[in-house]
Chains A and B, each alone.
Chain A
Amino acid sequence: MRTISHEELYTAVANLLVQANFHLPDHVYQALSIMHSTEQKPLAKETLNILLQNATIASTKHIPLCQDCGSVIVFLEIGTGITINGNLEETINRAVADTYTNHYLRPSIVKDPLFDRTNTGTNTPAFIHVEIVEGNYIAITVYIKGGGSENMSSLKMFTPTADSEEIINYIVATVKQAGPNPCPPLFLGIGIGGTADVAMLNAKKAVLQKEPHPKEEYRRLEEAILQRCNNTGVGPLGFGGNNTVAMVRIKDAPTHIATLPVALNLNCHSLRYRSTIL
């Protein structure tokens, strides 16, 4: 049995949070850059230019990419061959609180959703999802999700006989309806199948997949959704243009004979996340 110390876990989470909040992942920057070079409309092009400059300024001047430093979502894969000497949840929350304080990141979490919306002041608690896996490692992903794009999330329970065309129509309509609000160009995570909750969680995980879906039919669906969304004309930040969605990723799951859940995670252009393995 391998032991991972809580200090190691703390340091890893703290480093990932700094990386995620100040440095746009390379593939996200590249996606914005490609859209900038292909965009035809002057205002859309200028908008993408500003977003690229934003990433450079954030990184070089150590200013957060966005003032909304998000909800901290943590995905953990914990191997059966390891133990952690310390309290997992407490360690992660301490890393979040310290990093948000030390790096002047905005705390955006309130203590109670309805009856006491007092800011906790530390951006804790983080929202932690644990999966137990074979092996003697911990894989950690931190994902920073802003409130404006989270508010545009959507779930639809289709009847099981629905076809992919109906699903595409729903997704395109949701993206169009959301318009400028979630800060396009969007990175779109889609959870298909499972139960309602599993689909929502898969929509979150899907957007963190760099590679297209391994199965041909889902890959074609990702491409079709991308193309149709980009024909809406919403454009960067909703100012009009050909680039409304930067990337589409699907995560599927088996489901019940009576159900076909489809969950949408509309991530803004500032897709902020980092992963590491201990």
Chain B
Amino acid sequence: MKTIDLHTPIKEYDLQQLKAGHFLTISGTIYTARDKAHKKIAELVAQKKPLPIDFSNAVIYYAGPSPAPPGMPVGAIGPTTSYRMDAYTEIMLSLGVRMFIGKGSRSSEVKKLLVNYQAVYCSSFGGAAAFLNQCVLDAEIIAFEEFGPEAMYKLTVKNFPVIVINDMYGGDLYADIQ
């Protein structure tokens, strides 16, 4: 299939060219965050406390990997279901996140927010966690280590495959299918 190669940090024109249904491979730095990390980040924002990273132009991957076996940077690392992060998406967008990667559909509220904030939602390949492990060159826990698999990881990835679900123009792959 025809793919678009994207390198982080992502630039404005990178995002502008993306349309629902595009197949992308991402290389560079992405950060994991799932349920507990989102809840914690929202608390830190509310309390005006320092955040673990600068979220400007960041790519957030909804994932909680299995532990790294010896000799590997990380274990199995597929996406988790995204709708559980819907309630926190505006906070993340206001911090500067421009791309989210997960799996499954988003609320109509989130779809509007993506257009307003000019950000993109992609799905990776749910349940292809061993396959996706092969795209991770390096992994480092950068925050919330006490959350175990729900800690925030900084991942260095190469040719990490995703499909654009919601582009910044309101395009929606899942809606097209329904």
Spell out A's residues near B (CB within 8 Å): 42-43, 46-47, 50-51, 53-55, 57-58, 61-69, 104-108, 117, 119, 121, 146, 148, 151, 176, 179-181, 183, 233-235, 237-240, 268-270
A106 touches B81 (CB 8 A): no
Task: Assess A179 versus B127: contact at CB under 8 Å? Given A105-B66, A119-B149, A148-B80.
Answer: no
Residues of A within 8 Å of B105, CB to CB, are: 179-181, 238
> Among A57, A183, A237, A240, which residue has its beta carbon within 8 angstroms of that of B131?
A57
Q: CA of A65 to CA of B103 in the docked complex: distance in angstroms?
A: 17
A106 touches B127 (CB 8 A): no
Max chain A CB contacts within 10 Å: which of B72, B126, B134, B147? B126
Max chain A CB contacts within 10 Å: which of B63, B81, B147? B81
B178 touches A176 (CB 8 A): yes
Q: CA of A55 to CA of B147 in the docked complex: distance in angstroms?
A: 28
A67 touches B174 (CB 8 A): no
Spell out B's residues near A (CB within 8 Å): 1, 21, 23, 36, 63-69, 72, 75-78, 80-81, 83, 103-105, 123, 125-131, 133-134, 147-150, 161, 163, 173-174, 176-178
Q: CA of A99 to CA of B76 in the docked complex: distance in angstroms?
A: 16
B127 touches A268 (CB 8 A): yes
A67 touches B77 (CB 8 A): yes
Residues of B within 8 Å of A67, CB to CB, are: 63-66, 75-78, 129, 149
B130 touches A69 (CB 8 A): no
> Among B149, B163, B173, B178, which residue has its beta carbon within 8 angstroms of that of A108?
B149
